[in-house]
Structure 1
Amino acid sequence: MTTPKTIRTAFLSLAMAGVAFAAAPAMAEGKLTVSSPQDPGSWDPVDTFLVNWAAVATNIFDGLTYRGPDLKLVPGLAESWEELDEGKRIRFKLRQGVTFHDGEPFNAAAVKFTFERLLGEQGSKGPQRSNYTAIESVEVIDDYTVEMKLKSPDPVLLTKLAGYGAMIVPPKYIAEHGEDHFNTNPVGTGAFKFVSYAPKVDIKLAANPDYWGGAPKLSELEYRFITEPATAVAELQAGRVDVVLPPTIPIGMIDVIRNDPKLELVSVPGPTVDALRFNTRDGITKDVNVRKALIMAVDRKTIVEQILAGQATEIASFQSALSFGDDPALKPLPYDPEAAKKLLTEAGVQEGASVQIDVRGNDQTMNEVAQVIASYLQMVGVTASIKPYETNVLLNDIIPQGKTGAMFQQKWGGWTFDYDNTAYAMYHSGEKWNPYESDSELDKLLESQRSLTDRAERERILREIAATVADRALEIPLYNSNAIYGVNKRVKDFVAAPDNRTKFDTVSVE
């Protein structure tokens, strides 16, 4: 829980930063071009869960709070906050003198509008609302004071307010131009203003000289959507791209960047995890023992060491070791092909039985991993085919509609570094990423921990959730990847964000 001392310290440090910003020289000229592997298709904060949305939108929008590359939570559009009534109310003092990019003032009314929209009909159409359902209402105290009333305390809420659905949006602009226009013409309070958007090509931004955190050092920021890793690296080498974002760079191309004197490889531990989840409704993977056999057939240690060149770590549950709720005592089922064969025989699975593995077509690393997994499965008598999909099709149609093969790739950013953000979305009945399971026991566990302020008890329940998922073999937990960036050395003051939400306001180019 945030303490008054923490609030005062954060407020004072930001105030000091504000003095420094005010004394800074005028905005420098310079354009930075960034390669992103995916166009999210909409820039509305309530429409998306995608890390690649956040990688761009962190520069367009602000939340009430902010969490940077050091993972510390500090004031954003709220200068300070106070938790009242044992965490059932949070009162925010808002930053004054801030305007949206269209000139509309930021104030308490904008905050109220943002959360009523998120929790209302518009938010119900997207995947973000379930992260914020602890909020009962947002009340305007005065123009620069708002109070959130919670149905029950949410120990992760202040972190959630730093990203995604909680980004503050302009009421007047949306009312005048409509929701569809806002999807492709975003307006926020961030360091960079929207200029143009060409779907699946690029989004162009310009510096916001009136940014409350100080004018950016860059004049232009462009994100190009380059789905092919080899193309992105080639553009980086040619100087037409300055930064390549994760998870673009495949392990096999790391040395290409390291050996180029113009480039730098930046690799930092992050929250992103990969798993192959199971279709528990259809085919042989309906059987929990078959699922356990398939897990035991895969040598994850060798995959991490040989295929991923050590740029990842094994996981036992769908979270990183940095995640609150991770249990170091939980061990995955061991690599044991003989035991896997025995389980398959006992389950009546015939030699040569087939399964389909669905993956993101532009994720070269996972495509290589999937080929290796198919080889392991072949060794226990199961024939695996790999079906690549265009990423948005897989994520917005195939998985949510329950149209996957026996196994499907799930990559998850886990950006709150709290297992709840992952587990609720993956395992609670009715959630977008849970098309096959409806488990009342898991639902009760997931719901029970959300309002707990007792960290130890909440951690115990989160670990119980992870153990339950492992026991029911809902997925093959694979690995926690490093966030790997390729950077041109002409880029100065670049700090890699573990969660890929890099702000470029303090970056410059030679």
Structure 2
Amino acid sequence: MKLGKIATLTSLVLLGTFTNVSLAAGDTLVVSTKLDPSSWDPIATFTVPWSTVATNVFEGLTYRGPDLKLVPGLATEWIVAEDGLSIGFKLREGVTFQNGEPFNAEAVKFTFERLLGASGAKGPQRSNYTAIERIEVIDDYSITMHLNSPDPVLLTKLAGYGAMIVPPKYITEKGEAHFASHPIGTGPYQIVNYEPKVDVKLKAYDNYWGEKAKIQDIQFKFIAEPATAVAELQAGTIDIVVDQIPLNTIKTIKSKDFLDVISVTGPTVMAFRFNTKSGITQNKDVRKALIMAVDRQKIIDTILAGQAQSIVGFQSALSFGYDETLEGLPFDPEKAKQMLAAAGVKPGEKIQIDYRANDQVLGQVVQALAGYLKRVGINVALKPYESSVYLNDIVPAGKTGEMFSQGWGGWTFDYDNTAYLMYHTGEKWNPYDSDPQLDKLLESQRPITDQKERERILKEISAYVANEALEMPLYNINTLYGINKRVQNFEPAPDQRIRLNNVTFK
């Protein structure tokens, strides 16, 4: 499509002037995602758009589908030792990689030695799997995973990203650079053409061990601009738009009789965290007052068009460790004023809020926060940053103002994966706090194999964090999919890791 036509389509979407058209009949399922991962190597990425595509190409020992239940993947069964220091896996027989190479215990050993070795050290995934000490091959279809410390979330981690099993012979012969652009996995689809920044094309793998793909060809288009993706959806050139639905276009999309918008609760939460080392936010009562000054539900109802849920902690209701009985601070601006005065904060006090500049909705939320805080006597200076600078230079180095935005996907749906990284002393995303009591709680739940006891401690952690008011929890945003109704049997995954082998056309 030429740039001129894309611009025209985008304008029409914004004006809401599309007439109802149906998608031209075609055999290819066309999906849009916002980012080209640049590498298809599982150990070289942490981006959600990678998993949107790669869930159809690669597989792990375990599998977690849209229902978030953990089930067998390339392992048919497993036994966790009582001390949590080893896991025995029975591997699935009769599985081949998409180049015909056999899947077996040696492939598993190669995968994790590569992940935990020099190759993995170059990418962002190794730190998720450092509990693994070594892989012991028992026979062709049995392995024991030996751990240096228990990891209660490891089985879930094995279902995603860096733990995807890769072909030893193919990588050894072709090299890692070739594998990154011409990947081979064991999944129901294989990548047959990849054009960087444009698209990636998949074809059904005929010898797939499981449920074979109903649709033979899939094209994933990389479209950075959400309005353009929606324009193509309305024009009938895209079947599914993955999590790129501007909130102000939902009604327009749903008004077309051949389109729909599917909304599901997702893992992504948004909060504004506090600098507890300097400024007025050193004071816990001040932090609580600032939280009480903001009408979070109003932000959800207006700016977010109702496509979110209010949260009292930094996790969604889908997260293991979520406490539905935990009560958050109420919206009470008058009480907030009293608390600020009692803490010695004078009217007109200035604070700085730092945030990522490339998110239009977040920009509106920040403006709303500034407005609410002004009503209780706090003047806000807003400081936007380009994403890479913000994530690499500002937050980890503790260079923020009194408040700073933090979005978190929580892809394991386990509070440990959020809380440990956010609140434990020395972690990258915890630039300001060092709390021995909180550290002890975080560490205490990791070796526990009794999930009820671990859940109890995680709930204790969330209550502790809420009482300390380490952040202003705002909302849990829904995952949105725009879809052409000719697409049948589509399962909307909360984490955007969509599996497409059961999808058909009407």
* TM-score, structure 1 as length reference: 0.85
CA drift of 1:273 comes to 1.6
CA drift of 1:209 comes to 2.1
CA drift of 1:356 comes to 2.8
What are the superposed Cα offsets for residues 415-448 of structure 1, whole Å, 9 maximum, x if unpaired?
3222112212222234333344343333322221
Change (3 A) 1:486 1:318: same
Give the corresponding residue for 1:417.
Answer: 413
Structure 1 stretch 400-409 or stretch 331-340: which is displaced more?
Answer: 400-409
Give the corresponding residue for 2:456.
Answer: 460
Give the corresponding residue for 2:354.
Answer: 357
Cα pair 1:358 1:408 within 8 Å, conserved: yes
**Quick one: which of 444, 448, 452 aligns to 1:448?**
444
Q: Quick one: distance in 2 between partners of 1:296 and 1:171?
A: 55
**Quick one: which of 48, 55, 59 aligns to 1:58?**
55
Code of the residue aligned with 1:76 in structure 2: it is G
Q: Quick one: distance in 1 between partners of 2:171 and 2:388?
A: 25
Give the corresponding residue for 1:470.
Answer: 466
Change (3 A) 1:398 1:197: farther
**Quick one: which of 80, 85, 89 aligns to 1:83?**
80
Give the corresponding residue for 2:148.
Answer: 151
Structure 1 stretch 294-303 or stretch 176-185: which is displaced more?
Answer: 176-185
Q: Quick one: distance in 2 between partners of 1:95 and 1:465?
A: 38
1:298-309 → structure 2 map (5 Å cutoff): 298-309=294-305
Cα pair 2:95 2:209 within 8 Å, conserved: yes
Change (3 A) 1:329 1:215: closer
Cα pair 2:84 2:447 within 8 Å, conserved: no
CA drift of 1:282 comes to 5.2
Code of the residue aligned with 2:46 in structure 1: it is F
Change (3 A) 1:196 1:475: farther
SS of equivalent residue, structure 1 residue 131: helix
**1:98 is aligned to 2:95:** yes
Change (3 A) 1:250 1:60: same
Q: Quick one: distance in 2 between partners of 1:43 and 1:402?
A: 32
* TM-score, structure 2 as length reference: 0.86
Cα pair 1:201 1:225 within 8 Å, conserved: yes
CA drift of 1:236 comes to 0.9
Code of the residue aligned with 1:448 in structure 2: it is S
Stretches of structure 1 lacking an aligned partner (at least 5 in a row)? 1-28
Structure 1 stretch 150-159 or stretch 467-476: which is displaced more?
Answer: 150-159
Change (3 A) 1:195 1:343: farther
SS of equivalent residue, structure 2 residue 365: helix
Q: Quick one: distance in 1 between partners of 2:104 and 2:385?
A: 43
Code of the residue aligned with 1:420 in structure 2: it is D
1:16-35 → structure 2 map (5 Å cutoff): 30-35=27-32
Q: Quick one: distance in 2 between partners of 1:97 and 1:143?
A: 11
Cα pair 1:32 1:218 within 8 Å, conserved: yes
Q: Quick one: distance in 2 between partners of 1:402 and 1:383?
A: 22
Cα pair 1:360 1:409 within 8 Å, conserved: no
Change (3 A) 1:155 1:352: closer
Q: Quick one: distance in 2 between partners of 1:385 and 1:498?
A: 35
1:242-391 → structure 2 map (5 Å cutoff): 242-246=239-243, 248-281=244-277, 283-345=279-341, 346-348=343-345, 351=348, 353-359=350-356, 361=358, 363-389=359-385, 391=387
Cα pair 1:289 1:347 within 8 Å, conserved: no
Code of the residue aligned with 1:236 in structure 2: it is L
Stretches of structure 2 lacking an aligned partner (at least 5 in a row)? 1-25
Cα pair 1:69 1:498 within 8 Å, conserved: yes
Q: Quick one: distance in 2 between partners of 1:108 and 1:464?
A: 40
Give the corresponding residue for 1:26.
Answer: none
Structure 1 stretch 348-357 or stretch 450-459: which is displaced more?
Answer: 348-357
SS of equivalent residue, structure 1 residue 317: coil
Give the corresponding residue for 1:224.
Answer: 221
What are the superposed Cα offsets for residues 208-243 of structure 1, whole Å, 9 maximum, x if unpaired?
222222432223322223232222211211112211
Q: Quick one: distance in 1 between partners of 2:325 and 2:78?
A: 36
CA drift of 1:32 comes to 1.7
Change (3 A) 1:57 1:270: same
CA drift of 1:403 comes to 4.8
Change (3 A) 1:178 1:132: same
**How much identity, in percent, do the aligned residues show?**
61
CA drift of 1:94 comes to 1.3
Task: Supply the RMSD in Å over aligned alpha carbons.
Answer: 2.7
SS of equivalent residue, structure 2 residue 166: coil
Give the corresponding residue for 1:238.
Answer: 235
Change (3 A) 1:118 1:403: farther
Cα pair 1:30 1:508 within 8 Å, conserved: no
Give the corresponding residue for 1:207.
Answer: 204
Q: Quick one: distance in 2 between partners of 1:486 and 1:129?
A: 34
SS of equivalent residue, structure 1 residue 422: helix
**Quick one: which of 40, 43, 52 aligns to 1:43?**
40
